[in-house]
Chains A and B, each alone.
Chain A
Amino acid sequence: MSDTQRGDTGTDRDEAETESDPPEGYEPLDVFGTTTEMDLRSGADNCTKVGTCDAECPVAEVNDDFPGPQFQGPEQWRLSEKDDVEIDDSITECSNCLQCDSGCPSGVPFSEMHNTARAKYVMEDQPLSIKKIRNRILANYRTSAWLASKLPRTANFFMNNGVVRWAMEKTMKIPSEREFPEFATQTFREWWGKRGGEAASKERARAARTERGEERDADKRVAYFHGCYSNYNTTEVAKAMVRVYESLGYEITVPKQKCSGTPMFANGRVDDARRHAKVNVEHMGNAIAEGYDVICTCSSCSLALRQEYPDLFDLEGIDELAAHTYDAMEYLRIHEDLEAELAGAEVEEFPDVAYHAPCHSRNQGLGRQAVELFEDVEGVTVTDVGDSCSGISGTYGWKSEKYETSMEIGEEMFDHMEEADAQAGMTECPTCSMQMEHGTGYEISHPMELLEAVLVD
């Protein structure tokens, strides 16, 4: 089973070490050497084939033809180390939910393995087709959204027009059942600019600090990575974050940024993702150098910056960015006494919600913070609907051939939402939110909006 090429490399290194530092007595060789870039061998060797990943996988659960993460990850990695073995096309069935990653008891880096295999398949093996082109368009949602934001009303009209959608289904294999997200008539960045940007934020934060009895010049600064969706679509989420943070005395900056890369990883477009990551690492990195921490309101954006970036790219400052990035709620839990802020709080006119923890939040260990936080707030009940996957997984559910699977996976979540004593939903992930609305007809909010309703007058 040994790989000749890699074995040779290992021997070279060991010999080099031997020459410079001859060991006294017997010291066994480090058989596999240290990992080099994209050498996933140590990860593959961690696999004990216990099968928890396959048992956790929501796609394998409903699709008997999908080989499951154990094959997609460690087994396929071993196979692909041999020449002339192509990546199996079933890799495109993986929705990148990362349940296998959080489920593995042995620390196999599934996320990294899947992203690497998917990228190799798409970039090298996959023949050109309509679906491949469509996937690239879906992966580059930011570009479409940027275009649509120029004429949002027209875009909103056409994107949900029956004839247009029929044509999209026929030509692009985009399922006509789905409702296109509405584009905001003013993007978050436009709003932010008109509001006075960073300078105005500083003033507001200072005023809030004075009111809170804190030092006027306290070092409370965050750089906001809004991602695409809260810039072009759900701007209310981004605005809620701004108001909450400023009311707690934080100055906000909104650096130049591109797509986090999540839809690109999921569609194997690491080339596009790397280009965008470079911009993000540079500009977020500058903010970090000035003393800012980075916060995200989208769970997939925070996961990308924290985990997928250092997994996949070797860019200057990428580890620094990962270590300084937080989920917006998580950051407040660490730096503020939110429990005290929320003690005895009351909220009016916010519906009770069925809360779904996105897979990418659970993957960061953040799946229960929203439920915990709002537990004692009067006037609203947040009911956890459990650990099901919504099934949409970003762009996955936006493909005609995946639509049925996506809805079948989502079935459990829809049932649990309907069982909960609520007529509205809540989640951190924009595409989970689309799926929740699609499956139940509920209006879906973000925990930051509830926090705004509780904390900000």
Chain B
Amino acid sequence: MAIDSDVLVIGGGIAGISSALAARQAGADVRLVSEAETTLHHASGLLDVLGYHPNAAGEGPVVDPFDAIADLPDSHPYAIVGESAVRDGLALLDDALGEAYQGSYTDANALVPTHGGTVKPTARYPASVAAGLASDDREMVLVDFERLTGFDAGVAADHLAAAGIPADTSAATVEFPIVVRDDAKVTRYAHLLDENPTVTVEGRERRVRAALADAIEPHVGDAERVGFPAVLGVDHPAEIRAELQDRLDAAIFEVPMGPPSVPGLRLEDRLYAALDDAGGRIEAGGGPIVGFDATEGTISEVYLDRSGSPIPYAADQYVLATGDVAGGGIDSDREGVTEPIFGCHVPHPTDRYEWFDEAAFGDHDFAEFGVVIDEMLRPVAETGDPEFSNLRAAGAVIGGYDYPAEKSASGVSIATGYAAGRQAAREA
């Protein structure tokens, strides 16, 4: 016996959740297994499609990522699934995220300022960053907190000004009204703003949000918008922004930061809740999938390793959404590069010194390591034939594109996840 479903999705990132949502929407009984509970805590919360054209170094950001898809090489995942899968996948995510996300009104990329003051082109963004877009010419003041590491408002404001954004920028540093430790994590600030307890500031009893607004108010001046480190609540972000907006008489936005990330955490909560509401089964944190049984090219069961006990999961169709080297979906050692669960073919040069470029930001081969898929999204062997009849791949485990350079990680995950999930459901 085994724990059973029509479609089993392996991996709990955006690709895995998109696959599971798409398969569920197509009527399949879906189970998602994820090695860790916290995969998206490391995500910025932005959902990009294509920020920069591959092999066009030095050119500016892509204006319309959907237009750019036609120019991509045939081996690019977008070229394989087609523009319609990108659009349909995004629509699926738009439904799941509702008002918490924006950007669907246009095909053009939005330009979102991030914590270093760089601007990231992205297709969808949390509502909390909407007022901060770099294309907006309203004057902004960026605020950081005395002991919060990970966001320096002064650096960000200067960097944005130097990049020539149309708005005037300034910066201020304030004390967060509750004495928090020197290295408090973003979640500590976020939960204090969610709970909004009373604090005593200069002899006055104030709620945390009010006291924070009091501290910022003298720095606002004529600015029409105030940017915060992305810690404005996990559970009640809209309510917190509304209250701060009211108190400061300025639009409020968040500046996305590195991991662990509050917008990533919110994205994770929303996507998992959407999958749960849709009736998808979720099993997270139980351990990695380490083995499988197959007969004549068809996978019958996979095994999750839970402290040495093999836990069997059976399905008609499987989706591999385990990520790239960073996510553990692709492995490498001195002998070569492998896909560790099913041993799918991963093309790579035999000489290890050809895997990378001399320059840190150079054109690295390893960035494009991953499985090769056919038009049905099935990983193929060196011969070009599918490795298994009932295995599809989604997201960064697929090779042939350099997502950090072209800023396409979420979009490829969503589009290939959508396509893989739907096809798996159709055949289940």
User: Could you tell me which A residues sit within 8 Å of B by CB distance?
Assistant: 50-52, 54-56, 60-61, 64-65, 68, 102-105, 306-307, 310, 319, 322-326, 330, 333-337, 339, 362-369, 372, 387
Contacts and interface: CB of A to CB of B under 8 A. Distances in A.
A322 B307 contact: yes
Interface string B161-186: 00000000000000000011101111
A103 B308 contact: no
Nearest to B309: A323
A324 to B, nearest CB: 7
Closest 4 CB pairs of A and B: A365-B286, A323-B308, A306-B307, A55-B185
Contact of B36 (A102, A324, A339): A102
A60 B185 CA distance: 9
Contact of A61 (B38, B188, B287, B307): B188
A335 B1 contact: yes
B306 A310 contact: no
20 contacts: A51-B260, A52-B42, A54-B185, A55-B188, A61-B187, A64-B180, A68-B183, A104-B36, A105-B36, A105-B39, A105-B41, A306-B308, A306-B309, A307-B307, A323-B307, A323-B309, A325-B307, A334-B312, A335-B1, A363-B285
A105 B307 contact: no
A32 to B, nearest CB: 15
Contact of B284 (A55, A68, A323, A367): A367
Given A51-B260, A334-B2, 14 more contacts: A54-B183, A56-B187, A60-B185, A60-B188, A61-B191, A64-B179, A68-B183, A105-B36, A306-B306, A306-B308, A306-B309, A322-B307, A339-B4, A364-B307
Contacts of A337: 1, 4
Nearest to A324: B309
B3 interface: yes
A367 B42 CA distance: 22
Contact of B185 (A51, A339, A362, A367): A51
Contacts of B312: 334
Interface string B1-14: 11110000000000
Given A60-B185, A61-B187, A365-B286, A52 B309 contact: no
Nearest to A28: B334
A103 B264 CA distance: 14
Given A64-B184, A307-B307, A362-B285, A51 B259 contact: yes
A64 B281 CA distance: 37
Contacts of A323: 307-309
A168 B188 CA distance: 35
A49 B282 CA distance: 28
B283 interface: yes
A56 B309 CA distance: 27
Contacts of B185: 51, 54-55, 60, 68
Nearest to A56: B38
Interface residues of B, number: 36
Nearest to A325: B309
Contact of B286 (A65, A324, A366): A366
A418 to B, nearest CB: 15
Contacts of B2: 334
B311 interface: yes
Nearest to A302: B307
A326 B309 contact: yes
Contacts of B186: 55
A112 B161 CA distance: 48
Given A325-B309, A372-B281, A334 B1 contact: yes
Given A55-B41, A60-B188, A334 B3 contact: yes
B285 A365 contact: yes
Contacts of A363: 285
Contacts of B4: 337, 339
B37 interface: yes
B331 to A, nearest CB: 13
Contact of A55 (B180, B187, B286, B307): B187
Contact of B1 (A68, A336, A387): A336
Nearest to A50: B259
A10 B280 CA distance: 49
B186 to A, nearest CB: 7
Contacts of A56: 38, 187
Contact of A364 (B36, B41, B281, B306): B306
B309 A368 contact: no
Contact of B260 (A50, A102, A310, A362): A50
B264 to A, nearest CB: 10
Nearest to A103: B38
A368 B37 contact: no
